[in-house]
Amino acid sequence: MNTDYNLYKIFLYLYEEKSISKTAAKLYVSQPAISYSLKELENQLGYTLFYRNSKGIEPTLEAKELYSYISTAFNILNDAEEHIKNLNSLNIGCIRIGTPSHIGVFYLSKYISDFRKIYPGIRFDIVCKSTSEMVEMLETRKLDIIVDTLPINSKKQVTKVTLSKLQNCFAYNKKMMKDVHVEKVEDLKNYPLVLPSATSSIRLKLDEFMESQNTKLLPVLESWTTEIMIEMVREGVGIGYFVKNVIDTQSDKDDFAVITFKDELPAVDVCCVYIDDFLTTATHKFVDLLVSNKIGE
């Protein structure tokens, strides 16, 4: 095996930039040199990796397959370098966390604040995407940990640690929606609803619960982003479904009316997910803080 890592580095830039000129500018080399390197890699592999089009270049199916491996390999190399630098010190480093926005706002922010008081040199990179996208990023070493609600499913062997159980609630702006009379869950069908995306874990649990109550909810708005949902409910678009802590952290929380039912709505477990072998020293420390559940001590 004759591996020229520089060829793969150029391949990564070409794949992500979709442009020979942009890749050349970022790597401070000439465009002919980039084109030559691409041709060299294609000859070694025996496949065409990019097609030219009016906008630049487009990866082939073979390039997409190759990218998943090469990007993972380079991320592991970067992690290894970072890990070695931090073996005896926590003065520098970055912890990459995937989490939904609502958990990042009211749950993780306190832990990150406490951690940075102890290790001010550690940076955080927060990514908010769907659970499946974050799992893929974890598997390809683009994230260090995921903090999300169950279920979180991965093809790889991961460690899952339950951190907390959170209650959910329906809430509306009582100033904007003055004639709301909800006593049973089926009464919700009479009002416009603002709900999490249909494929999110929190929504799947809600739909399962509603099915047990012989009720199907049809929202007027669905969103992956809790901030959007809060703003829509604040403006009177409808009744929203949230983790209760989200309502409690709003500066205008007194404007929100939380609806209670005889049957308790399904709670969600917040879980920390990671791959043991790839945790840096800094990430280990942060996970320990999450698991200890000690804030402000």
Query: What are 61-104's pLDDT values in tens digits?
Result: 999 999 988 998 888 888 777 777 665 567 778 899 999 877 77
Q: To 5 degrees, how large is the angle CA 12–CA 14–CA 17?
A: 105
CB distance 160 to 227 below 8 Å: no
- What average pLDDT is seen over the chain? 86
Backbone angles phi, psi at 198, to 5 degrees: -60, -25
Residue with tokens 């929606």: 177
CA distance 172 to 238: 7
What order do you get walking across the sheet with 159-166 strand by strand?
122-127, 93-98, 145-149, 268-274, 159-166
Q: What is the mean pLDDT of residues 167-185?
A: 89
Beta pairing class for 122-127 and 93-98 = parallel
Query: What are 235-282's pLDDT values in tens digits?
Result: 999 999 988 888 888 889 899 999 888 777 888 888 899 998 888 888
Q: Which residue has the higher pLDDT, 45 or 199?
A: 45
Residue 297 has a pLDDT of 47
CA distance 123 to 93: 6
CA distance 163 to 149: 10
**Which residues are registered as beta bridge partners of 230?**
none
pLDDT at 178 over 90: no
pLDDT at 106 over 70: yes
Structure tokens at 202: 């929190």
pLDDT at 296 over 70: no
Q: What is the mean pLDDT of residues 138-165?
A: 86
CA distance 10 to 25: 12
**Residue 3 — pLDDT band, cuts 50, 70, 90?**
low
Going from the N-terminus, what domains does the chain have, and what CATH number goes with each? 5-66 (1.10.10.10), 86-163+270-292 (3.40.190.10), 168-266 (3.40.190.290)
Closest CA relative to residue 218, chosen from 242, 244, 238, 233: 238
Q: What is the mean pLDDT of residues 177-201?
A: 88
Residue 56 has a pLDDT of 84
**Residue 191 — pLDDT band, cuts 50, 70, 90?**
very high
pLDDT at 295 over 60: no
